[in-house]
Structure 1
Amino acid sequence: MRYSLKAAAIAAVTVTFATEAAATSWDVSLWGKRRAFTEHVEKLAELVSEKTGGEFTLNISYGGLSKNRENLDGISIGAFEMAQFCAGYHRDKNPSITVLELPFLGVASLEQEIELSKAVYSHPATQEDLGRWNATLLMPSPLPQYNIVGVGVAPATLADFEGLSVRATGGIGAAMETIGAVPTSMSASEVRQAMDSGVVKAVSFAPHAHMSFGTIENGKWWTTNLNPGTVNCPVVVNTDALADLPDAHRDALLGSIDEALDHYVDNYNNNTMAAWGPALEERGISQVTFADSEIAAFKEAAAAPAAAAWIEDNTARGLPAQELYDLVTGMIAKGM
């Protein structure tokens, strides 16, 4: 009997150690606060924990691990295992995915943005590009077309943007230059202070960000149909950390991506956009709608030159730039 009790005790300790050894905890670097932009990461953490019985956890930090412009650097050295970043914050570090930030691509929905991103993310050139940072692209953070909230006198025509300082990154910034605006690139968390101090007079964001980062608290006007483009903000994981996961944990992570994205889209379409109109009305923000002819002229002036410059610059980097551009535009033309 003594032997049996001793054996049982040893077995219990062994099981405990084995369970502890099998547990996995990843640090996830985001920024700002929980919002529509991060709902897929929050959902992913929930799903992974459920599927593994709590053995695999994603510890999400909003700014506690890294500055948002340094998340890709943190991934590269293994400072944390997962992070979100925006391509336009550092185009030189991730030129392949900036094709998705070109102005006036004509993306019609979040669902289409997801499909385009997945196609670009899976391209060998993109994987090699991000591989320089020991990063594996996990999933996109699909965003609708950007529009602008500003202070001061509302623009009556696009000519009124001449000389106006606008927070606009990537292809949107390049597009705004064609109508005389002065684009300034800064992270989302810097925008409110820049707007309050007069460093910028207007801010280009998706609706959730205008609400989350406070531009509508002192904004006076909003453009309803400028729609120059959007930004691409992937979630990435450290490649070594992904490879080191136990099979069950890796399957739980990768097998939860589509459900996490479905949750994100549903939340954005049904909650964020439902709140956007009332938020503007409550604050008396005037809505500026430009004539179709002006938007057409804006697109003509911005789209083709930006695409040509992107292809030339990135071909010189050694990327198959024309191939990536054709992949995106071809899918859009087919309605994919």
Structure 2
Amino acid sequence: MRKILSRTAVAALSMAFVTEAMATEWNVSLWGKRRAFTEHVEKMAELVSEKTGGEFTLNISYGGLSKNRENLDGISIGAFEMAQFCAGYHRDKNPSITVMELPFLGVSSLEQEIELSMAVYQHPAAIEDLGRWNATLLMPSPLPQYNLVGMGDAPAKLDDFAGLSVRATGGIGKAMETVGAVPTSMSATEVRQAMDSGVVKAVAFAPHAHMSYGTIENATWWTTNLNPGTVNCPVVVNTDALADLSDDHREALLGSVEESLDHYVTTYNGKTMDAWGPALEERGIAKVAFSDAEIAAFKEAAAAPAAKAWIEENTARGLPAQELYDLVTGMIANGS
């Protein structure tokens, strides 16, 4: 009997060891709180767990692992296995994907933003660029065109932006400079305090962020049709960690990208945008619309110079900048 029990105990211990060895846990570094911007990561965690019977789990942290501007650095040293960041936070670290942040590209939907981003992410130059940080681009966090929420007197024309301090990163910041605004780059988590203290008088965000970070609480106006561009915020994984996954776990992860993005788009176009209009109306925030002529002049002043400067700067870095720019603008022109 003792021999039988011993064999049973050994078998149970062996099974427990095998089960533990098969289990995989990844830490995921996000920031802020759960919101429309993170729904694809939340969905991916759900799908990966379901597909692997709980053997592969994504432990999502909102700010507990790293500051948002340091997520790419954390990925590079393997401090965590997955992270989200925005290209404009550190343009010199990921210049290839900043092509998606150029002003007035003319992206018309979240679906198009996904298609364009994935094309850029799969370009050899982008793969090599992010490879310097031991990072593999997994999926974008598609955002609609940014618009401004501000305090004080509402601008009646573009000239009224002259001297206005605006939180605007990347290409949007460059575009705002052309109409005389003074752009300031700061992370999303710093914006509300900057508004409250008067450091900035207006903020360029997508609708979900205006609601999530409270910029509409003190706002008196917002622009309905400025649409200068958006930011590109990929989700990346540590390349070594991806390679170390079993074939089944890797397939569970990579095979969940499309469904996770579909969930994100459905949530953003539905729940988030349904809440945006009422949130403005409840607070009596005035809607500012500019004439077609002013928008056309804004685009003419901002788009071509920014593209030219981006191509020249990144060609000097050794990137095929013209090729990347042509890839994006060509897809847009063809209706992709």
Aligned residues: 336
Equivalent position of 2:319 in the other structure: 319
Give the equivalent residue in structure 1 for 2:256. 256
Q: Aligned residue for 1:129?
A: 129
Q: Which amino acid aligns with 1:53?
A: G
Corresponding residue of 2:117: 117
Amino acid of the structure 2 residue aligned with 1:213:
Y
Per-residue Cα deviation, 1:41-62 (whole angstroms, up to 9, x for no partner): 0000011111111111111110
Cα distance in 2 between the residues matched to 1:5 and 1:196: 69
Counterpart Cα distance in 1 of 2:126 and 2:250: 22
* Whole-Å separation in 2 of the counterparts to 1:152 and 1:3: 83
Between the aligned partners of 1:24 and 1:190, the Cα distance in structure 2 is 34
1:266 aligns to what SS in structure 2? helix
Tell me the equivalent position of 1:180: 180
Amino acid at match of 1:321: A
Structure 2: how far apart are the matches of 1:110 and 1:219?
Answer: 26
Structure 2 partner of 1:224: 224
Aligned to 1:96: 96
What secondary structure is seen at the aligned counterpart in 2 of 1:42? helix
- Once residues 44 and 217 of structure 2 are traced to their aligned partners in structure 1, the CA distance between those partners, rounded to angstroms, is 31
Q: Which residue of 1 aligns with 2:305?
A: 305
Could you tell me how far apart the structure 2 residues matched to 1:155 and 1:79 are? 45
* Alpha-carbon distance between aligned partners in 1 of 2:15 and 2:258, rounded to the nearest angstrom: 34
Distance of 1:9 and 1:25 partners within structure 2:
27
In structure 1, C-alpha distance between the alignment counterparts of 2:103 and 2:295, rounded to whole Å: 12
Distance 1:321 1:144 in 2: 24
Partner Cα distance (1:272, 1:17) in 2: 45
1:41-120 map, 5 Å: 41-120=41-120
For residue 135 of structure 1, report the CA deviation from its aligned partner: 0.3
5+ residue gaps, structure 1, are none
What is aligned with 2:284? 284
Q: What is the CA deviation profile of residues 201-247 of structure 1, one whole-angstrom value per residue up to 9, with x for unaligned ones?
A: 00000000000000000000000000000000000000001111111
AA of the residue aligned to 1:134? N
Structure 1 segments of 4+ aligned residues over 2 angstroms from their partners: 1-9
Q: Which residue of 2 aligns with 1:192?
A: 192
Q: Which residue of structure 2 aligns with residue 37 of structure 1?
A: 37
Query: Distance in 1 between the 2:2 and 2:183 partners?
Result: 78
- The match for 2:330 is 330
Structure 1 Cα separation of the partners of residues 24 and 219 of structure 2: 45
Q: Distance in 1 between matches of 2:186 and 2:9?
A: 59
Q: Distance in 1 between matches of 2:261 and 2:3?
A: 54
CA–CA distance in 2 between the matches of 1:18 and 1:295? Answer: 63
Give the root-mean-square deviation of aligned CA atoms. Answer: 0.7
Q: CA deviation at 1:2?
A: 4.7
SS at match of 1:70: helix
Encode CA deviations 1:91-145: one digit per residue, 9 max, x unaligned.
0000000000000000010000000000000000000000000000010000000
Q: Tell me whether 1:10 sits opposite 2:5 in the alignment.
A: no
Give identity over the alignment, percent. 84
**CA distance in structure 1 between the aligned counterparts of 2:9 and 2:195, rounded to whole angstroms:** 64
d(CA) in 2 for partners of 1:159 and 1:183?
A: 15
Q: Which sections of structure 2, spanning at least 5 residues, go unmatched?
A: none
The separation in 1 between residues aligned to 2:218 and 2:60, in whole angstroms, is 30
- 1:195 and 1:96 map into 2 onto residues whose CA distance is 31
Write the distance in 1 (CA, Å) between the matches of 2:305 and 2:59. 43
Could you tell me which amino acid in structure 2 is paired with residue 164 of structure 1? L
Give the equivalent residue in structure 1 for 2:206: 206
**SS of aligned partner of 1:236:** strand
